[in-house]
Structure 1
Amino acid sequence: MNFHLPTYKEPDFNQEPFLSAPDAQTVKVTIEGVAPEHYHGLSIYPEYFKIQGQWILARESRMDGVPVLKSDGTIQVVEFRNLKVGDQVIVGRSEDGRQGIYVYARGFSSHEASADLFAFRSGRSRETAYSKDYNDLYDLLNYEKDHGYIVWVLGPAVVFDYDSRLALSALIANGYVHAILAGNAMATHDLEAALFGTALGQNTYNQQSPPNAHYHHLDLINKAREAGSLDQLIEKESIHDGVVYSAIKNKVPLVLAGSIRDDGPLPPVIANVYQAQDEMRKHTRKATTLICLATQLHTIAAGNMTPAYTQKNGEIRPVYIYCVDIAEFAVNKLKDRGSLSVTTLVTNVQDFVVHLRNNLVSS
């Protein structure tokens, strides 16, 4: 294995403007759930705050949160809805250190000589060469399997194909998946495939649509609701393959966030969006690698709450984010929302998952 974590290079705070910068200013919350004016909005990058003359790194971050100074001198990242009266919110919109706030985006930069200013195909598109990205990802996942926390964000397309569904199940069984974030559709069609051999009524292998197969996903949801849980459904219907089955068998957390589009939904789907966000956040805050497959809204949601860094064993390390979709527009949406540390691959997610299985799991 050729993978090595890059070394994090801390800013040199023994120089200007850091030395003469004032302490970061705070203002108390007076209305629950409402930040004071001029609050500082966090990014996905490491952010330092000058507290009593010392530059303190927020232990974690997420977009659309605010930094709250705790009584022990630590910085806590808090969503607006979770702000309490009396919380000391750090205020200031300057990010270059002058107001005691410094956003640091180059901690893992190699500082190698820059390439030519002009170059063909510098963006990421269907014409991009992805061979190195695949090889890098194989090495990364072999490392993360034992040393990290790999979170997968799944759209239903990944279980519409016979081979990709089995491939992802094999990746789960072999330790390459530590948590799954998805919606009602992914789990429904995976279980539909396990019970009926179809996904949204179409056979996952030969693409045939049997008579009345358009009822299958509703029949599956109905059976699951009658069973009361996915565990009991799997036992009652003798289901023995698929993504949901493998996740439950291998005790991989499965967070299913609800949507206004949902049928049913399945018993474990979380209807309250803020509760779903909290459950997703439990895993994105532990994530060291995030892999998002063919689900634009879930990808943006998970990407925005996943920092570009995390701390493990006292050391700061990068969080790797991959966004995979057959549509260029979809993979670029996450970058447009500010998650600049993402690696995008424009390809069929079904082929992507099979490639991973073939190169990571010994037959």
Structure 2
Amino acid sequence: MELFPPYTPPDFTRSPLADAPQAQTAPAPADGVLPERFHATSNLPEYLHLGDGRWLLAREGRMDGVYLLRGDELRVVEPRAVRRGDPVVLARTGRGEEGVYVHADGFAVPAGAPADEFAFRTRNSRETPYSRSYDLLYDLLRHDRQQGHIVWVLGPAVAFDRDSRDAMAALVEAGYCHALLAGNALATHDLEAALFRTGLGQDIYTRELRPGGHCNHLDTINRVRRCGSLAVAIRELGISDGIMAACERQQVPWVLAGSIRDDGPLPGVIADACAAQDAMRVHARRATTVVALATQLHSIAFGNMLPGYQVDAAGTVRPVFFYVVDMSEFSVDKLANRGSLQAAPILTNVQDFVVNLRHNLC
């Protein structure tokens, strides 16, 4: 099967783009304050008219940012990062009439799209067959292991089961993970499994409740805090199995974004929401394939940071693939309602999903 759909750029020689004005800017009136009629960016390919028929493709697409344009240099930043006097691009439309064009249909219509006006089963659901989705994902991960940036967004359910935890660690060891994003819980329960073989006090294989097991995750956090960092704890506590240990061995960067519910938290968990967002955006800028497993809040948060495309050094435009694996459609529906239209669901439990990937890729 064809791995990437072809990208067709806009025809700027035809009206109305041929007659489009040059994109305009206005200085930011203060730090973190935007001029009126600023252009809010999308995750789709966007072009700015520099004048004389020259259109510049934004190399970083993301939602809810703004463009700073200095000559032919274009940057996209969060509104809070704008500084007084920065030249902010102005536009409230994306059809070219203000020098900004949002290219919504650059990629070919996906295979299987209905040819008729009326058709059944046009939306993924619990009844959708996912065999082709798996096959495409295998090919994508094999390709992007060497030529892309694979980001995993994990909920703690991955660490609650022995087989899924082992399978995820094996995928990390095999090079199929270039960055891991999660919260305090994923790392805590992965390390709890290493130390006590439990997740929230329940055996990760037999599901037997261990006496006093409800303290195990707190004991885990306490031991790691005594060590000072995850890396030191993994070494000093003799932790050799699991997801975080695999990341340390393979030098895979991780970002643990904190929440109001966190116990502890573990050292290294970023409690400042803006700092966590900045750390996650580092990987959003590079991501080519993202797999989010059983974590609604982190899936939605990272999906809203994610570009819909990447541009390589040669100027080739390719889509960014975003798989959301969960037992329900809620996360994907929420993402679609927030503009992350490339989010594709695979509706299953994460244990079966991760073990399936390990069997086919490792």
Which secondary structure state, in structure 2, belongs to the residue aligned with residue 98 of structure 1?
Answer: coil
- 1:7 CA displacement: 2.7
Counterpart position of 1:342: 343
Alignment of 1:73-88 (within 5 A): 73-88=72-87
Q: Distance in 2 between matches of 1:357 and 1:111?
A: 27
Counterpart position of 1:307: 307
Q: Is 1:319 paired with 2:304?
A: no
Counterpart position of 2:355: 354
Are the counterparts in 2 of residues 3 and 140 from structure 1 also a CA contact under 8 Å? no
Q: CA RMSD in A?
A: 1.3
Are the counterparts in 2 of residues 325 and 345 from structure 1 also a CA contact under 8 Å? yes
Counterpart position of 1:12: 11
Alignment of 1:120-159 (within 5 A): 120-159=120-159
- 1:334 CA displacement: 1.2
Match for 1:91: what amino acid?
L
Identity across matched positions, percent: 53
Which secondary structure state, in structure 1, belongs to the residue aligned with residue 263 of structure 2?
Answer: coil
Which secondary structure state, in structure 2, belongs to the residue aligned with residue 50 of structure 1?
Answer: strand
When structure 1 is superposed on structure 2, of 120-129 and 80-89 the one drifting more is 120-129
Q: Distance in 2 between matches of 1:302 and 1:313?
A: 24
Are the counterparts in 2 of residues 58 and 74 from structure 1 also a CA contact under 8 Å? no
Gaps of 5+ in 1: none
1:186-245: per-residue Cα shift (whole Å, max 9, x none)?
000000001100011111100011110000000000000000011111111111100000
Q: Assess, with a 3 A threshold, how the Cα gap between structure 1 residues 178 and 49 changes in structure 2: closer, same or farther.
A: same
Alignment of 1:1-363 (within 5 A): 2=1, 4-53=3-52, 54-70=54-70, 72-110=71-109, 114-314=114-314, 315-361=316-362
Which secondary structure state, in structure 1, belongs to the residue aligned with residue 209 of structure 2?
Answer: coil
Are the counterparts in 1 of residues 300 and 331 from structure 2 also a CA contact under 8 Å? no
Which secondary structure state, in structure 2, belongs to the residue aligned with residue 344 of structure 1?
Answer: strand
Q: Distance in 1 between matches of 2:115 and 2:195?
A: 53
Match for 1:134: what amino acid?
Y
Q: Count residues with an aligned counterpart.
A: 359
Q: Distance in 2 between matches of 1:35 and 1:155?
A: 36
Are the counterparts in 2 of residues 331 and 346 from structure 1 also a CA contact under 8 Å? no
Which secondary structure state, in structure 1, belongs to the residue aligned with residue 144 of structure 2?
Answer: helix
Q: Distance in 1 between matches of 2:23 and 2:80?
A: 23
TM-score by length of 1: 0.96
Q: Distance in 1 between matches of 2:110 and 2:95?
A: 20
TM-score by length of 2: 0.96
When structure 1 is superposed on structure 2, of 341-350 and 212-221 the one drifting more is 341-350
Match for 2:76: what amino acid?
V
Q: Distance in 1 between matches of 2:332 and 2:155?
A: 13
Q: Distance in 2 between matches of 1:237 and 1:78?
A: 41
Q: Distance in 2 between matches of 1:11 and 1:291?
A: 30
